[in-house]
Every structure is written in structure tokens, then in C-alpha cells.
Structure 1
Amino acid sequence: MSSLPLRALALATAAVVATTALSACGSDDDAKAGTTAGTAAEAKTINLGYFPNITHAPALVGVNKGLFATALGGGTELKTQTFNAGPAAIEALLSGAIDATYIGPNPAINGWVKSKGAALKIIAGSTSGGAGLVVRDGINSPADLKGKKLATPQLGNTQDVALRAWLKQNGLNADKNGGGDVSILPQDNATAVQAFAQGAIDGAWVPEPNLSKMLLESKGKLLVDEKTLWPNEQFVTTHLIVSQKFLKEYPGTVKKLLQGHNAAIKYINDNNADAQKAANAQIAALTGKALKDEILAAAFKNLKFTNDPIASSLYTSAQHAEEVGLLDKVDLKGIYDLGPLNELLQADGLPAVSDAAAS
């Protein structure tokens, strides 16, 4: 049989696909997507969110060193937006103001719940570790915390859940309104660091670099290093999520974003000293104030940067939030899409990462 009919059919099919893709990019989509003859739609822009915080170092370094821009190529423009709290980043993703963002596990879980599993996918890990409970001198055990005041960044955030779960495991309770055996006062990290220095609170469960600030500048004591509570001393602090809409429409662009993300993590791990400078320079550009060198070095030492999302810790964190009454029973099946990341890892001869609930 001649191959001519098959070739003609293939060309006709390609034409239909191209026409459909062009039609889908009308009006509102024109600002984001474009096509070239014979190719699928490519995003003209990708809006990426991240925090001016050292736990988001892959984003800081990726932007500062142009690694995302290089991976995306000339056809897609990288636009960025910074946030200081997970809920704000999730709202931006849900509204379409951003397409992807670096974020902590509990805000991602909350976004999944709020959208009934329709809004986002976790596509890569970013950061592990770098959180714990810093207390003033004289507090040496959980029992010593009874009647004390502790801070967390926000009610229901990742560190807040970690503290409440740890207190419960040690026979102490803390309600949502600051009552109970231990009074938990949610406040932003900068306020908590200042309150601890002034003696207004007895301690705080905080992420880096605030943990190192409290230890080095206010002579605090690390009562709980959170990594010691997790298998292999690994738990997710930050990961990368993308809107399901953007992932479905522009999978090629998402893969390029992941290439930039992987390049940033590799750069940090291969060039740690320079990566610290790049991350700090980006923080200074965003906030007007760089971290002190000793704080920067201590924070980096306490963090691990990895594209493994450490999925098992996300499921456990959700369980902890349920146990302390901050989250209703939730089904997280489908929250991960690690296919694009694992394709890239396989191409580089690296092991795949897992979305399994148990490590």
C-alpha cells in the first residue's frame, strides 16, 4: 500500500491541530500564548511567584543568575511576583495572577482543598529542613513550656502545624485563640524575631533565616530541630507548584521552567559560596536589606536544596493538621504531577523522585 494517503492524512490532521490551537489563543489568551506554524502553543509569558526568603533560594538564585530565562529561551518571558505569606500566593494562583509559585506544604494543601483538587499540582521539591523551636534560656524540655508564650508565622501555616503537633505529642495543648497549656501567638517572622529579642515571647517555631537570627543575635537555644522529627531528617519546607490550567495548556513551558529550577538547585549545590551571594543579592534587591553574612551562612548550612518533593512528609503534615483541628479530612490523591520532572531527571541519568505517601 502506498504511504501517500497516510502522509496526506497526517498533514491534514496537523493543520486541524494548528488551527484549533490558534483559535484557542484568541482575545484574552493572546497576551500569554502564541504559535508558530506546525507547533503547539507556547506561553509568551510565565508568571512565577516566590518569597524573598532564603528557604526559596532556588528561586532567588534562578532569577538572579538568569537560569530560568536561559531555560525558557527567547520565546517565553519570565515575569515574577514576590509574596510574604503562603495564602497570598495561593490566592494569586487561584485568580490567575500567577502561573506557578514556590510555596510551603500547608498553603499548597489548603489551595488543593479550597479548589477541590482543581487548581494546582506540585511539580518539584525545592527545599528541605531549616525550621525549629528556638526558646530562651531556662527552657529545657516540653514540660518547661507550660504557661509560656510561643510564636509561629501564621495560624495553620507549616510551622504552626509543626509546633501544635509536637506539643500534642508531648501532652500539651494549645487552642486557636492563644489559650491552653501553651499560648501560641501567630505573628509574622520579623515581629517574632523582634519580640523574642525584647523578651515579649518565650520562643518561636520559625523557618530560616529567622531561626539563625534568634540563635545568633538574641542568644536563643534550639529546643527542637525539626529535621530530627522526620525520617532521614528530611521534610518539605518549600516546593514548586503550578496551576493545572497552565500545565495543561503549556506543558512544554512548564518543562522549561523545571529545567531552570533544576539548574538553580545544581548551581547551589555545586557553587555554594557564590549561590549564597546571589541569593542574598536578590533578597537585597527585593527588600532593600541583605542578610548578615553569619546569618546567611548559618541558614544555608541548615537547609538542603533538592528537587525531591519528599512527598511522604506532605501527607504526614496534612495528617498533623487534621489531628490538631486545623484541617478537615482531606484526600491528597493527585496533588502531585512529577512526570515532567522525572523525564528531565531520566534524561540526565538521575534517579526518579516519588509521590508516594510513605518513604
Structure 2
Amino acid sequence: MKKWLLMTIFVLIIGVLAACGGGNETSGGKEGKEKVVIGYFPNIDHAPAMIAREKGYYEEALGENVEIEYRTFPDGGTFMTALKSGEIDTGLVGPGPVLNNYSNGANVKIIGGASTGGTVVVASEQSGIENLEDMKGKTFITPGIGCTHDVQFETFLMEKDLDDLASARIGGSLKHVTGNPATYQGMFETGQVDLAAVPEPWATILIENGANVVVSTEEIAYGENLPNVVLVASGNLIEENKETVQGLVKAQQKAIDFIHNNQEETQDIVIKAIKDLTKQEMDKEIVAKAMDRMTYTTEIDEEVLKEFGQSSFDLEFLKETPNFDGLVLKSN
């Protein structure tokens, strides 16, 4: 079975998982315990959550009086909806959805980093794209409109200042569509799309299946400096239980330390965690290559986040000039 078909099955299963995860309450745990619901995606850039879950770091940091529940999500939009509605309390998500929701008044804050880098723009073999000029009039795909990877790619194009080298949404010649990265290989093969601005491990999967890298992680806007996944929490959790928030940050740091010191075991845990959720096993060599394009860190460069947010406004994803003061929770 081709990898793209496996990935298509993968995304369908994830969708079912997300749908089946509804109805969780964030309080009133067993035997009067406080309940904390943690969300994340079954992607390798969310490895800190998988490691912390597997190793019991959340339980260790939050204590025996806290009951922990987990939910997985297919995209940042559904994650943020769950966070704002109180279905989850905290978790890992890309900065794009967080910035967009915060600018619209959502009571959320970033409490730590998770990973940086990993966004790559690749072109299908049959697209004929070999340089930037070849992109004109082509179709590109990203996981969502105004998502982290979309903003990175469109900012990269904007900085090149080439005629028509922009999304048709803002007057350029490029057609923009969206979809889950697990389906991109099939869309490449059928000629539905020419380019993809995609996170790992999907970039490596596409490359292994013949796609060409046209914009590397190092070249794309905000490349290796932008947090591509952050640890975010609801304002209610932050206001009502600072000790829990501190414990989450502590568990995150411990998970990232483990990743740095145990690469081989980390890959095994991530592969198993994804297989448990999706019933599909990722190739270890692909996971290793994908992880090489990322850096796992709890550090947050707030200025880069603000610049990224300004880019979202310049690209007309945000209607008003953003103010992201207070978005990143300052450590005591």
C-alpha cells in the first residue's frame, strides 16, 4: 500500500478520534480530584506531549490530587475551539491559531515553547517548478488559511517582492487551497496541487516520494526561530490554579530534556504513540530525518511571535493591527 494511502487512512482515523473526544469536562474529576484535560496532535512536533504522557511527567508534576485526561486534535482550529469552550485546559498547538484567537479577544496565554522549525515548501515532480518564477499561476496547499505554515510561506513570497508571486486572495497569481497534510501525496500524484507548505513529518514523506524542496526550513520566513508549536493554557486555568500551570511547564521541560538525551527512545515512543492513535506505523528513518529539521525547546522568542503576528496582519489574515502584549505568560 502506498504511503499516501496510509496517510489518508491516518487522517480519517484522527478525525474520528477528535470527534469521539467531545463532551469532556475540565473539572470534577474522580473522587473530588481536580481534572485537567490536555490536548495535542499526533504529530512529531508534538513529541513533548507524547513523552510527558508516556513517562508520567504530567502526573509527577501535578500530583496525586489531579486527574489528567488527554485529547488529540486534527488541526489548530478545533483545538482552539475546545480550549475557548473549556473542553480542554491546556496543550500543544501552532502559534498561528493562538495569535489569531488572542487578537480576537480569546482568554488564552502561551506558557512555554515546544518546538521550532520544521516548515518546508515542496513541489510535486510533475509541477515543473524549479525556481521561484516557476511558481506563478500554480496551486499551493497548507493545513489551513492563515495557519502557521501559510503565514510563513506567504511572508516569504511577500519579501521576495516579485510580480504576481502571492496568493490570489491578495491579488497574486497563486491559487491557495487547504487540506490535511496526510492527503498531500495523493493530491500531488493527481495534479490537484503543485506546492505544499507543510510541517514535518509530512515534508519528509513527500520528499521520500519524489517531491522537490523549493524553500527549506532555513530559508522560509521565521525559519528556525519561530516556535512552530507552543504550550498554551486557558486564562481560567492560569487565574485559578497557578501551581497547575507551573507543573505543566515543569513537565514540558522534563520531556524536552528527555528528547535531547534519548533520541533513539524518543523516536520509538513517538512512533508507538502515533500508531496507538492511528493504527498506522511510521517509518523510523522518516521520523529521524523529520526530527533533524526541528529543535525541541521550552524557550519562546516573544519578539519573533509579534513579528509573525504583524505578518498575519500585513497578509490580511487579521482585520486590525494586532497587539500581542500579555500573550506570553512571564515566568516568576
Q: Is 2:121–2:214's contact at 8 Å kept on the other side of the alignment?
A: yes
Question: Per the alignment, do residues 72 and 144 of structure 1 end up closer, same or farther by CA in structure 2, a change over 3 Å counting?
Answer: same
- 1:201 maps to 193
CA distance in 1, matches of 2:168, 2:79: 26
- 1:168 maps to 158
Question: Per the alignment, do residues 204 and 46 of structure 1 end up closer, same or farther by CA in structure 2, a change over 3 Å counting?
Answer: same
- 1:248 maps to 239
Structure 2 counterpart of 1:132, from 120, 135, 147: 120
- 1:31 maps to 28
CA distance in 1, matches of 2:194, 2:182: 15
**Which residue identity is paired with 1:233?**
E
Q: Deviations over 1:287-337 (max 9, x none)?
A: 111211121111111110000122222112111111111112111011011
Question: Per the alignment, do residues 89 and 231 of structure 1 end up closer, same or farther by CA in structure 2, a change over 3 Å counting?
Answer: closer
Q: Give matches, 1:310-329, under 5 Å.
A: 310-328=301-319, 329=321
Q: Deviations over 1:232-290 (max 9, x none)?
A: 83211000010111111111111111111111000000101101111111111111112
Q: Does 1:274 align with 2:265?
A: yes
The root-mean-square deviation of aligned C-alpha atoms, in Å, is: 2.2
Q: Secondary structure at the match of 1:233?
A: coil
Deviation at 1:231, TM superposition (A): 6.7
Q: Secondary structure at the match of 2:169?
A: coil
- 1:338 maps to 330
- 2:20 maps to none
Question: Per the alignment, do residues 69 and 29 of structure 1 end up closer, same or farther by CA in structure 2, a change over 3 Å counting?
Answer: closer
**Which residue identity is paired with 1:173?**
A
**Which residue identity is paired with 1:126?**
A
Structure 2 counterpart of 1:222, from 169, 193, 213: 213
Q: Secondary structure at the match of 1:228?
A: coil
Superposition TM-score, scaled by structure 1 size? 0.79
Deviation at 1:140, TM superposition (A): 2.2
Larger radius of gyration: 1
**Which residue identity is paired with 1:121?**
K
Question: Per the alignment, do residues 101 and 86 of structure 1 end up closer, same or farther by CA in structure 2, a change over 3 Å counting?
Answer: same
Deviation at 1:188, TM superposition (A): 1.4
CA distance in 1, matches of 2:41, 2:150: 18
CA distance in 1, matches of 2:147, 2:189: 23
Q: Is 2:52–2:252's contact at 8 Å kept on the other side of the alignment?
A: yes
- 2:111 maps to 123
- 2:13 maps to none
Q: Does 1:283 align with 2:274?
A: yes
Q: Which deviates more, 183-192 or 98-107?
A: 183-192
Q: Deviations over 1:199-247 (max 9, x none)?
A: 3321200000110011012x11111113334578321100001011111
Superposition TM-score, scaled by structure 2 size? 0.85
Q: Deviations over 1:136-165 (max 9, x none)?
A: 344222111011111111111111112222
Question: Per the alignment, do residues 298 and 29 of structure 1 end up closer, same or farther by CA in structure 2, a change over 3 Å counting?
Answer: closer
Q: Is 1:227–1:235's contact at 8 Å kept on the other side of the alignment?
A: no
Q: Does 1:64 align with 2:54?
A: yes
CA distance in 1, matches of 2:26, 2:167: 48
Q: Is 2:26–2:87's contact at 8 Å kept on the other side of the alignment?
A: no
Deviation at 1:55, TM superposition (A): 1.0
- 2:180 maps to 188
Provide structure 2 residue ranges, at least 5 long, that are not aligned to the other structure.
1-24
Say how many residue pairs are matched: 302
Q: Is 2:52–2:255's contact at 8 Å kept on the other side of the alignment?
A: yes
Q: Give matches, 1:43-122, under 5 Å.
A: 44-114=34-104, 116=105, 119-122=107-110
Q: Secondary structure at the match of 1:227?
A: coil
Deviation at 1:66, TM superposition (A): 1.7
Identity of aligned residues (%): 29
Structure 2 counterpart of 1:263, from 254, 260, 285: 254
Question: Per the alignment, do residues 65 and 29 of structure 1 end up closer, same or farther by CA in structure 2, a change over 3 Å counting?
Answer: closer
Q: Is 2:153–2:221's contact at 8 Å kept on the other side of the alignment?
A: no
Q: Is 1:155–1:176's contact at 8 Å kept on the other side of the alignment?
A: no
CA distance in 2, matches of 1:59, 1:300: 15
RCO comparison, higher one (Cα < 8 Å, 6+): 2
Q: Secondary structure at the match of 1:31?
A: coil
Question: Per the alignment, do residues 55 and 29 of structure 1 end up closer, same or farther by CA in structure 2, a change over 3 Å counting?
Answer: closer
CA distance in 2, matches of 1:327, 1:258: 29
